[in-house]
Structure 1
């Protein structure tokens, strides 16, 4: 297979043809912040946290869904990028009702951790305070749209790991939200397999186990990638 040689943050890296910028950065030991990316499912570039600069290209590119080209010179930690990442995080917090102290994922939330790592200590924008309801109709799991960042990790997990196709995104702009089947209550779904993989994939407190209280919702998204790897390599135990 052909190889592409690029430069990332002054490091020369050789990666296989078809690799993303994010893959190349990982190969070089460089961390690029992400929220919607999850190993084991395809990338959509939804969160825009992984934007990078490529010399000769005026616009910023999402590292997760941009395929590298020979000779690219890429920057991942410029002041411009730090500014845009901070803006993105603040807008995510302002768009919904993220109250960390009362959240089931407090202390185990990727959005919260990202805010800490990027030095975000306040939000400069007016909060939208949308009126979103919770879906507590499922016997095992709940969905709180107030915590959702529309990363669609649950949708991709449901479709491409579990294969149920239960979750999807409906609406546009500020009214975009995750739905179950044809916008039914989760507890009425005829396709949900009760596997809980979507809950494991959620980076915030939007999807949770019924009965979990503030700070109790822990997850291990790496288990989902293990399922994909085991399928490919036919490692299932009989």
Structure 2
């Protein structure tokens, strides 16, 4: 497989031609913030937090879905990018109902971590206060759509790793929301296997284990990558 040589933040980096900018940067120990990206499932470039500047292009490009190319010159942490990222985080807080102090994921939330990383001390945008539902019909799990950031990670792990495709997206724009089995209550979704992979994938406290208290819930997202890798390598196949 051909190797490409590129420059990231003025550092020479080598990467396989099949890799994305995000993968190449991570291999080189260069941090690029993400929210919708999750190891072990497909990339969708939904959150736009991983936008980078590429020399010769006026457009910012999402690092998670942009393939490397020979001679690329990339900047990942300019003032322009930091401004865009902070605005994205503020928009997510303003368009949802995120109250960290009473959230089960307080202290273990990727959105919260990103707000700290961007130095966001307040939201300068007008809060939308949407009317979003909470579904507690499932015996083991619940979903509070007020905390959902529409990253689609739950949809992708359910489809690509569990193979159930219980979750999907409905609505458009401001009315977008995740649903189960064509908008049936989660507890009556026949396709759900109660595996909990959607809970492990969720970056916020939107999907939670019932009975979790404030700041109590932690998630082992590395299990999802482990399952995907094991399947690709055939490590679980029974030898005859």
Query: What's the TM-score once normalised by structure 1's chain length?
Result: 0.98
Instruction: Tell me the SS of whatever aligns to 1:83.
Output: helix
Counterpart contact for 1:11–1:28, Cα < 8 Å: no
Structure 2 residue aligned with 1:82: 82
Counterpart contact for 1:35–1:47, Cα < 8 Å: yes
Instruction: Tell me the SS of whatever aligns to 2:13.
Output: strand
Instruction: Give the Cα separation in 2 of the matches to 1:158 and 1:189.
Output: 13
Shift in Å, 1:28: 1.5
Structure 2: give runs of 5+ residues left out of the alignment: none
Shift in Å, 1:117: 1.1
Query: What's the TM-score once normalised by structure 2's chain length?
Result: 0.97
RMSD between superposed Cα atoms in Å: 0.9
**Mapping 1:153-164, distance limit 5 Å:** 153-164=153-164
1:11-63 deviation line (CA, Å, top 9, x unaligned): 11111112100011012110000010000001000111100000101010000
1:98-140 deviation line (CA, Å, top 9, x unaligned): 0000101001101001111111110000000001110000000
1:145-196 deviation line (CA, Å, top 9, x unaligned): 0000000000000000000010011111010000001110000101000000
Structure 1 residue aligned with 2:66: 66
**Mapping 1:122-137, distance limit 5 Å:** 122-137=122-137
Structure 2 residue aligned with 1:206: 206
Shift in Å, 1:234: 2.2
Counterpart contact for 1:13–1:27, Cα < 8 Å: no
Shift in Å, 1:3: 1.3
Q: Could you list the runs of 4 or more consecutive aligned residues of structure 1 that deviate by over 4 angstroms after TM superposition?
A: none
Instruction: Give the Cα separation in 2 of the matches to 1:2 and 1:231.
Output: 25
Structure 2 residue aligned with 1:111: 111
Instruction: Give the Cα separation in 2 of the matches to 1:237 and 1:7.
Output: 41
Structure 1: give runs of 5+ residues left out of the alignment: none
The answer as to 2:17 corresponding to 1:17 is: yes
- Equivalenced residues, count: 238
Instruction: Give the Cα separation in 1 of the matches to 2:3 and 2:233.
Output: 24
Shift in Å, 1:237: 8.3
Instruction: Tell me the SS of whatever aligns to 1:139.
Output: coil
Instruction: Give the Cα separation in 2 of the matches to 1:48 and 1:112.
Output: 17
